[in-house]
Structure 1
Amino acid sequence: MRITWLGHSAFRVEFDGHALLIDPFLTGNPGFNGDHAAVTAGISHILITHGHGDHVGDTIAIAKETGATVVTNYELCMWLASQGVAKVDPMNTGGTTDQGGFTVTLVRADHSAGMGEAGVAVPLGFPNGLIVKAKGQPTLYHFGDTDIFSDMGLIAELHQPRIGLVPIGDRFTMGAEVAALAVKRYFDFDAVLPCHYASFPPLAANADAFVTAMQGHKTRVHTPKSGEAVEL
């Protein structure tokens, strides 16, 4: 599995001939310095954790350009369809869908969801984490935006993820030390990649505190620069 961090919480994930984007916030993302065409080349799916602008990002434009299927919660799917996205596959928390070669499961996240229209916040379903499973590949868990919660233990028991994409930026998600506690207490990851940091001034400027909090633990921490790929 090849995972490329695109800044903030955006990732490109490639395995077995599949290419997907998660939370493709590219335009306006200070952490993204890559080539838009290269990042979106060959993608078949866009997975979205929740309905905030820094996670929905460029979904509408990318879906129209590529014909990719968007997978997310029902309310956000219906809103995206109203904006001209042709292929949506709506879900809700706890559900699993077969995307042809891999499955996606939506799990709980402790956050909020909604985007402003004409000064009014429009609710767009519940926030989620994403579980991606494919035969012969390590199970991937993108936490979405969340705080720690004890039911992470159930997510670990049910899905046994091996790779974690973990928000560490604080203020809008758990901070570095709490994120490290979540990883160490509830999961048996082979590798984790921190995210949701180093993009906007209110967030943590780097992953140093997370790396320090994870020292001595068997889980390997990868902190690629934006645009760098990690092979797992």
Structure 2
Amino acid sequence: MRITQLRNATIIVHVGRYNILVDPMLARKDALPPLRLFVRRRLRNPTVELPANAASALDTVTHCLITHCQKGHFDHLDRAAKHWLRERQIPVICTPHDLAHLSARGLHVLPLAADHAQPQAFLGGQIRTVRCTHGLGLVGTVMEHGVGYFIEMPGEPSLYLSGDTVLTDEVRQFVRRHQPQVCVVPAGGAHFDLGGDIIMGTDEVIELTRIASGRVLANHLEALSHCPVQRAQLRSAAQRAGVAGRLSIPQDGETIAFEPWKAVA
């Protein structure tokens, strides 16, 4: 298995003959509105362009997987991505919750079964969902919480795509129980003008990396105006915590390979 980090939460998972695009935000730099208003500089989004190799990487895509996309979450499916998916009629896999929303936009949607929390067939392997908590308290009441995905493919490392979530007891328990060989988690510490973090930040990513016995890939970094965590900051924290060897923090455009392994009892 290989994972190409494009930008923010947008990755391509290369597994066997499939190349799965996850949560595409394909807009040009500054094409989308600010996410914080009561600040000195209202930065538009995304704050960086796609990497130079994005077009060639996207040309390989066979499927798309969406964790959440409603209530204005353009950072996981923006207008440019909808156009790109519609033009190529890429199969878009989602939960039943997002079926009508995506179908109404002319996308070629392949929804998971109604009981999508149970394992079900997925590209020759299986997939199940894990609940996301996209912020707590008042901010949590207005967010689209979405899902994470746990994917198991024959001969490949098990993969947990956490989606946009803070580190809840449910996430902790899932990782302890299933011990995914690869976890992809958001690390930007995103927050709006009011309320707490709506995704993991430095401390929670370090805690999850300690809980997990496999490797962790941190993204959702340095691409949106409401994500303050920097790669260098997270890398330094991982080194101090002694987990830098298991925490990957890819640059945009970078591809990382993951081999299957067996944990030592």
**Which residue does the alignment assign to 1:3?**
3
Alpha-carbon separation, structure 2, partners of 1:48 and 1:110: 16
SS of match in other structure, 2:75: helix
TM-score by length of 2: 0.74
Tell me the CA shift for residue 7 of structure 1: 1.1
Alpha-carbon separation, structure 2, partners of 1:187 and 1:61: 37
What runs of 5+ residues in structure 1 fail to find an aligned partner?
113-122
SS of match in other structure, 1:209: helix
Alpha-carbon distance change, 106 to 34 in structure 1, aligned in 2, over 3 angstroms? farther
Tell me the CA shift for residue 62 of structure 1: 3.0
Tell me the CA shift for residue 12 of structure 1: 0.7
**Which residue does the alignment assign to 2:88?**
66
**Which residue does the alignment assign to 2:179?**
160
SS of match in other structure, 2:100: helix
**Which residue does the alignment assign to 1:101?**
124
Alpha-carbon distance change, 35 to 90 in structure 1, aligned in 2, over 3 angstroms? same
TM-score by length of 1: 0.84
Quick one: which of 129, 133, 140 aligns to 2:159?
140
**One-letter amino acid of the counterpart of residue 52, structure 2:** G
**Which residue does the alignment assign to 1:180?**
206
Offset from partner CA, 1:57-114 (integer Å, 9 cap, x none): 34422332333221122121211101111232245662333222232221111117xx
**Same amino acid, percent of matched pairs:** 24
**Contact 2:119–2:128 (CA under 8 A) maintained in structure 1:** yes
How many pairs are equivalent? 220
**Higher share of residues assigned strand:** 1
**One-letter amino acid of the counterpart of residue 101, structure 2:** W
Tell me the CA shift for residue 19 of structure 1: 0.6
What runs of 5+ residues in structure 2 fail to find an aligned partner?
29-45, 136-141, 192-197, 259-265
Alpha-carbon separation, structure 1, partners of 2:13 and 2:188: 22
Alpha-carbon distance change, 37 to 97 in structure 1, aligned in 2, over 3 angstroms? farther
**Contact 2:201–2:229 (CA under 8 A) maintained in structure 1:** no
- What CA RMSD, in Å, does the superposition of the two structures yield over aligned residues? 2.4
Alpha-carbon distance change, 130 to 26 in structure 1, aligned in 2, over 3 angstroms? same
Alpha-carbon separation, structure 2, partners of 1:178 and 1:133: 25
**Which residue does the alignment assign to 1:50?**
68
**One-letter amino acid of the counterpart of residue 101, structure 1:** G
SS of match in other structure, 1:165: strand
Alpha-carbon distance change, 159 to 78 in structure 1, aligned in 2, over 3 angstroms? farther
Alpha-carbon separation, structure 1, partners of 2:17 and 2:59: 12
**Which residue does the alignment assign to 1:198?**
222
Q: Does 1:39 align with 2:57?
A: yes
**One-letter amino acid of the counterpart of residue 188, structure 1:** S
